[in-house]
Amino acid sequence: MPDQFLFAMEVILNGLMAGVLYALVALGFVLIYKASGIFNYAQGVMALFAALTLVGIMEGQVPFSHLINAIFGTDIHHFGWHVPALLAIAMTMVVMVGLAWAVQKFIFRHLVNQEPILLFMATIGLAFVMEGIGDIMWGAEIKKLDIGLPQGINDWIDVTTFEAFGYGFFIDNLDISATIVAVILVGVLIAFSQYTKQGRALRAVADDHQAALSVGISLNFIWILVWSIAGFVALVAGIMWGAKSGVQFSLSLIALKALPVLMLGGFTSIPGAIVGGLIIGVGEKLFEFLIGPMVGGATENWFAYVLALIFLVFRPQGLFGEKIIERV
Amino acid sequence: MFYRESGDFSTTYPQDSQTFPIRFDRYRYYVVLAVAFLVIPFIINDYWANAVFVPFLIYAIAAIGLNILTGYCGQVSLGTGAFMAVGAYSCYKLMTAFPDVSIVIHVLLSGGITAAVVTLFGLPSLRIKGFYLAVATLAAQFFLVWLFNKVGWFYNYSASGQISAPERSVLGIIVTGPNTEAWAKYLICLVFVTLCAIIARNLTRGSVGRRWMAIRDMDIAAEIIGVNPMGAKLTAFMVSGFFVGIAGALFFSVYLGAAEVGESFGIDKSFLVLFMIIIGGLGSIFGSFAGAAFMVLLPVFLKNVFVGGLGWPTDLAAHLQFIVSGGLIIMFLIMEPHGLAQLWRLAKEKLRLWPFPH
């Protein structure tokens, strides 16, 4: 087989892996949008916040040490212990549930029945607040996140493909584990929403708020639940991206990567988020590989958006979105 | 006491349809204009011009532009930053290509070019609605920023990739470049703001504005009563683009002097202008000013409190500023979703009856 073709294959495979990560972030958006009609811009910052908290807990950092030092003139930074990864993840999850509760209690309970654009603006405000709090709590420097996931090139794939085609595929172990984790996560989420009482209540709320309220489902509880689940998805996404490129501010920008995925897949569809993620992941890698060199590269920033835009012109509700029915 | 219509009778049609029908309101407007044109230029210094007045005036133009699109016509746009960049880069290209033509004409032409570009990016709005459209405008944001970064022609192949404004003058007064006096910067922006606000105010209360608002309130119903949605939406994009382009051109040439597209016209600029119109009030020209003033003054104020007042390190103050401004935005949305303009309206209602409210 020609080299170019093999190389393109490798690009497609890597694109699929990147797409899985995009889908992971997009999932968090879809969950909240379906259940509460809130377009949650803060999802990316939630991933950053979760990753920062995880690193902070694992390293035994003192929260708000920077602020405390500035006010009282002390010099504290670490407790001096290390927390094992699994325990730290559990503790971070507790923090994320607390965050979900606070978001519901202090922000969105007061904004029920407002226009969607205002809710969207509120999530941008929330993104600002969380960004600031995350930095003040744990410090703004770039951190390494290592919870023991395998890293580096997968030798087995490299050797096998080299023997088969004479060209070794470079695939990162981390991407493979991210894919596995994402598949498990989606499986768990589907099982949760199909087979548990809370999951069914969640779907009922997503279908029709008022009908759900009238059969005795607590909207308040469901909204906290859905923000917690979104927090959990954000934590997973934060771990994967954080392990890949370090925990830093740019992590919050993955929200911007997930938006075209949502447009493509439809704001209300979980399969749409996954398929959209894969299409975007492969599409942008292939475009950068084939067309990128001709136009000066770095096309990844906008290609996904333009693709989604062109797609939407032909199908305004996205790939799997609910058909838009308009009445006067 | 204030704002009373009693004794304020209109006897002709022009009197009846003037911008400020209440006499007190009209006088207040003249007083504000007089202070802005005749008092402030004499007392302004570099700090106040660069930190407060010039950014306020320029952002007010951008906010008026976005408010026409989002507040009056209901089309949410997250591409304002990139559209400002279009204005800035076309102004730069015009300034360097035609050095003999007045900068005022360049700024107006940049507005026209931006209007064309924005209308082009507005075309999908005929098919796409709501959040899908908002995200679609992000395509414009990222694509345009990438374009201005990659194509050397836009920045005249300068080594740094930056564009910097050459020195130009209006009526013999230098208005761009490093040797500009504070009052000159302030005055040229003020002239543009005043003109833009008058144009915008009159457009929005005329038939064009009523068509926009009909589309905003319910596009299908508007279509049934005979509003052409394509015409209404595209004119909104066009007019909005014109104002945003002027803002971008002034932002680059008068305020910044030198600009790099990713840094000066990134997505945070889009959000900043969106914040301004939400906090100021959607669908209100006064709200655009109020929001711009609020968002310009807030960081200045917070910086003075945290760094100047409490003596905390600057990075900590920057983080706290994030928290406070985010928190204030949320608080505003909860307490007064219609923005500062609504507070102003309420205050006027109260003043009208004051001091005998019953």
- pLDDT tens digits, B185-230: 888 899 999 999 999 999 988 899 999 999 988 888 888 998 888 8
Position with higher pLDDT, A198 vs B136:
A198
Q: What is the mean pLDDT of residues A23-41?
A: 82
Evaluate whether residue A321 is within a structural domain. Answer: no
The span from the CA of A264 to the CA of A319, in Å, is: 6
pLDDT of residue A140: 72
Q: What is the 3-state secondary structure (H, E, C) of A181-248?
A: HHHHHHHHHHHHHHHCHHHHHHHHHHHCHHHHHHCCCCHHHHHHHHHHHHHHHHHHHHHHHHHHHCEC
Position with higher pLDDT, A325 vs A284:
A284
pLDDT of residue A2: 66
Asked if pLDDT for residue B115 goes beyond 90, the answer is yes
Q: Which residue of A has its CA nearest to B150?
A: A296
pLDDT of residue A316: 74
Q: What is the mean pLDDT of residues A207-225?
A: 86
pLDDT category of residue A108 using cuts at 50, 70 and 90: confident
pLDDT of residue B114: 93
pLDDT category of residue A13 using cuts at 50, 70 and 90: confident
**Closest CB to B139 among A39, A111, A305:** A305
Beta carbon pairs, A and B, within 8 Å: 139
Asked if pLDDT for residue A1 goes beyond 60, the answer is no
Strand B258-259 and strand B163-164: the pairing is: antiparallel
* Residues 290-319 in A contacting B (C-alpha not used; CB under 8 Å): 295-299, 301-302, 305-306, 308-309, 312-313, 316-318
Structural Rg of chain B based on CA atoms: 21
pLDDT of residue B87: 92
The span from the CA of A157 to the CA of B29, in Å, is: 74
pLDDT of residue B199: 92
**Closest CB to B333 among A39, A125, A260:** A125
pLDDT of residue A281: 86
pLDDT category of residue B157 using cuts at 50, 70 and 90: confident
| CB atoms B329 and A260 under 8 Å | no
Evaluate whether residue A325 is within a structural domain. Answer: no
Asked if pLDDT for residue A75 goes beyond 90, the answer is no
CATH number at residue A151: 1.10.3470
Asked if pLDDT for residue A76 goes beyond 80, the answer is no
Lookup: tokens for B264: 């000066």
| A286 sits in which H/E element | helix A270-290
pLDDT of residue A308: 83
pLDDT category of residue B1 using cuts at 50, 70 and 90: low
Q: Which residue of B has its CA nearest to A112?
A: B334
Which of A290-304, B65-79, B249-263 shows the highest mean pLDDT? B65-79
CB A237 within 8 Å of CB A46: no
pLDDT of residue A328: 67
Position with higher pLDDT, A261 vs B7:
A261
Asked if pLDDT for residue B57 goes beyond 90, the answer is yes
Rounded percentage of chain B residues whose pLDDT exceeds 70: 98
Evaluate whether residue A307 is within a structural domain. Answer: yes
| CB atoms A316 and B312 under 8 Å | no
**Closest CB to B326 among A132, A297, A312:** A132
Looking at every residue in chain A, the average pLDDT score rounds to 80
The span from the CA of B15 to the CA of B23, in Å, is: 11
Least reliable range by pLDDT among A50-54, A96-100, A304-308, B210-214: A304-308
Asked if pLDDT for residue B2 goes beyond 70, the answer is no
The span from the CA of B105 to the CA of B99, in Å, is: 11
Asked if pLDDT for residue B331 goes beyond 60, the answer is yes
pLDDT category of residue B116 using cuts at 50, 70 and 90: very high
Evaluate whether residue A319 is within a structural domain. Answer: no
Give this complex's ipTM.
Answer: 0.81
pTM of the model: 0.86
Lookup: tokens for A299: 């096309």
Q: Which domain holds residue A271?
A: 3-314
| HSE-up (13 A, CA, CB side) for residue A134 | 31
The span from the CA of A222 to the CA of A228, in Å, is: 10
Evaluate whether residue A243 is within a structural domain. Answer: yes
pLDDT category of residue B245 using cuts at 50, 70 and 90: very high
| CB atoms A131 and B322 under 8 Å | yes
> How many domains does chain A divide into?
1
Evaluate whether residue A327 is within a structural domain. Answer: no
Asked if pLDDT for residue A4 goes beyond 80, the answer is no
Bridge partners, B163 (sequence order): B259
Evaluate whether residue A62 is within a structural domain. Answer: yes
